[in-house]
Amino acid sequence: MSLEMRSICEKCYKGLKNNCLAYICTHECTFCKECTVNMNFICPNCGGELVKRPRSEI
């Protein structure tokens, strides 16, 4: 099973390319770096920790 590489930040709706820096929780909620820092690395949807998303080679 692979990650769903979402293309927008769920907070500010900024576009996120597959190879850019983004953060995800265990449910694959996806946020840009700026929103992640503002949320103290905590997902507002599930309360989980936000960690760097792996970058895609594509």
Q: Do residues 39 and 11 make contact, with C-beta atoms less than 8 angstroms apart?
A: yes
What's the topology of domain 1-58? Herpes Virus-1 (3.30.40)
pLDDT per residue over 7-47, tens digit each? 999 999 999 998 899 999 999 999 999 999 999 999 999 99
Segments making up each domain of the chain, as ranges = 1-58
Q: What is the pLDDT of residue 56?
A: 66
pLDDT score for 1:
55
**Separation of alpha carbons 21 and 1, rounded Å:** 21
Residue 24 dihedral angles phi and psi, to the nearest 5°: -135, 160
